[in-house]
């Protein structure tokens, strides 16, 4: 029997803060529920909302987390290890910027930071299983991204070596996801080595097609790259395990294109928008995902340079709910059908005997 997509859900990362109701899981879950969300995606790096160490070692703690959410009227959609995944592979050019994602104890020590990130990503798999979840979401990190543009000329073998190393780092992590029966949906995202379909294929090939390497589909990043995000679903739907519902727009000018001239988010030709304010064809996306049987969560990720987070969140739940397709269990022309047998079928075509 076909299953419909679940939702609306909301990714809590961009909303968590030190002020109520955003400073504890109990209060932020209730806030989300009151806005009409049915699920919350939890950032595992934010200690105000979640303790990953406890979750990986204590099913009792995970039951408490689920109970807190259920009492508020929501369930947990997925655990996110985006920031930790980013640190599994960091090009030296970004060391200073990405140290802020890690504990001070590993700052200025790339090897220690990487070891911490690997441990965190593995614990996200175990915590997801303890939570009764089949999917987690995250980033791959990047070794090759600074060489995105082919000038200066890349030395032969540079990209192959980068993806071989990326896969070498991730395969033992993904093996832990396999042991726990959890998929890891990597967000296809500029700044990661996996930023489009072609690079996802490079990564997957280097991993020998690891079954737990899946996709967290987010069309906003494809708008900014001018990639056909509907055709992407046609090609990769079997690997899509999670869905970030995020809008974006691309308005090139005589001064700016996809690189946007180092402008701030407000001034970029390509920028993220709140749901309904951008150019993403969500009707097409929800239809495609329903066509291919996607039955996991539709989760709002809010990022907008113009609209407030509170307004974006309030508008997001009804927007997603309106677009979710309740998959039909019968064909529209069933009423015109009739019983038949092989003999009747052959008679219709004039076949004797």
- The 10s digit of each residue's pLDDT in 242-277 is 999 999 999 999 999 999 999 999 999 999 999 999
Contact between 210 and 185 under an 8 Å Cβ cutoff? The reply is no
Is residue 51 assigned to a domain?
A: yes
118: containing domain? 6-348
Q: Is residue 238 part of a domain?
A: yes
| Residue 353 in domain | no
Identify whether 226 is part of a domain. Answer: yes
Residue 219 structure tokens? 């069309």
Residue pair 115/174 in contact (Cβ under 8 Å)? The answer is no
Express each pLDDT in 301-333 by its tens digit: 999 999 999 999 999 999 999 999 998 777 656
pLDDT value of residue 328: 78
Separation between Cα atoms, residue 301 and residue 257, nearest integer Å:
24
State the Cα–Cα distance between residues 206 and 161, nearest whole angstrom: 10
Q: How many domains in the chain?
A: 1
The answer to whether the CB of 12 falls within 8 A of the CB of 41 is: yes
Higher pLDDT, 257 or 3: 257
Other Cβ atoms within 10 Å of 94 Cβ, number: 16
* In-domain check, residue 68: yes
The CATH number of whichever domain residue 12 belongs to comes to: 3.20.20.150
**Burial status of residue 113 (CB atoms within 10 A of its CB: 0-12, 13-18, 19 or more):** buried
Least confident segment among 28-37, 99-108, 292-301, 340-349: 340-349
- Which H or E element spans position 297? strand 297-300
Q: Quick check: is 132 in a domain?
A: yes
What is the dihedral angle through the alpha carbons of 219, 223, 226, 229, rounded to the nearest 10 degrees?
A: 20
Residue-level pLDDT at 172: 98
* SS3 label, residue 91: coil
Higher local confidence (pLDDT), 353 or 68: 68
1 falls within a domain: no
């Amino acid at each position: 029997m076909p299953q419909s997509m679940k939702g609306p859900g909301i990714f809590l990362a961009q909303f968590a803060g030190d002020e109520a109701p955003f400073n504890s899981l109990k209060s932020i879950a209730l806030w989300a529920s009151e806005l009409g969300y049915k699920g919350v995606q939890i950032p595992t790096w934010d200690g105000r909302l979640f303790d990953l160490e406890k979750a990986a070692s204590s099913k009792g703690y995970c039951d408490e987390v689920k109970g807190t959410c259920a009492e508020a009227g929501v369930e947990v959609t997925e655990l996110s290890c985006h920031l930790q995944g980013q640190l599994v592979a960091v090009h030296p050019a970004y060391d200073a910027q990405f140290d802020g994602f890690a504990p001070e104890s590993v700052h200025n020590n790339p090897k220690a930071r990487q070891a911490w990130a690997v441990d965190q990503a593995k614990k996200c798999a175990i915590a997801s299983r303890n939570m009764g979840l089949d999917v987690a979401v995250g980033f791959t990190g990047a070794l090759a991204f600074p060489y995105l543009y082919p000038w200066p000329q890349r030395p032969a073998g540079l990209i192959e070596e980068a993806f071989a190393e990326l896969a070498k780092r991730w395969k033992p992590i993904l093996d832990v996801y396999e042991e726990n029966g959890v998929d890891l949906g990597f967000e296809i995202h500029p700044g990661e080595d996996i930023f489009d379909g072609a690079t996802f294929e490079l990564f997957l090939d280097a991993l020998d097609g690891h079954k737990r390497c899946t996709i967290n589909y987010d069309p906003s990043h494809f708008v900014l790259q001018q990639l056909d995000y509907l055709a992407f679903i046609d090609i990769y739907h079997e690997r899509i395990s999670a869905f970030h519902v995020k809008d974006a727009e691309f308005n090139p000018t005589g001064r700016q294109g996809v690189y946007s001239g180092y402008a701030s988010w407000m001034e970029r030709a390509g920028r993220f928008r709140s749901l309904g304010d951008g150019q993403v064809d969500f009707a097409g996306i929800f239809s495609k995902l329903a066509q291919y049987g996607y039955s996991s969560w539709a989760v709002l990720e809010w990022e907008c340079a113009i609209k407030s987070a509170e307004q974006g969140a309030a508008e997001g739940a009804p927007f997603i709910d309106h677009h979710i397709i309740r998959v039909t269990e019968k064909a529209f022309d069933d009423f015109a059908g009739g019983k038949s047998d092989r003999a009747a079928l052959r008679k219709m075509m004039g076949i004797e005997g």
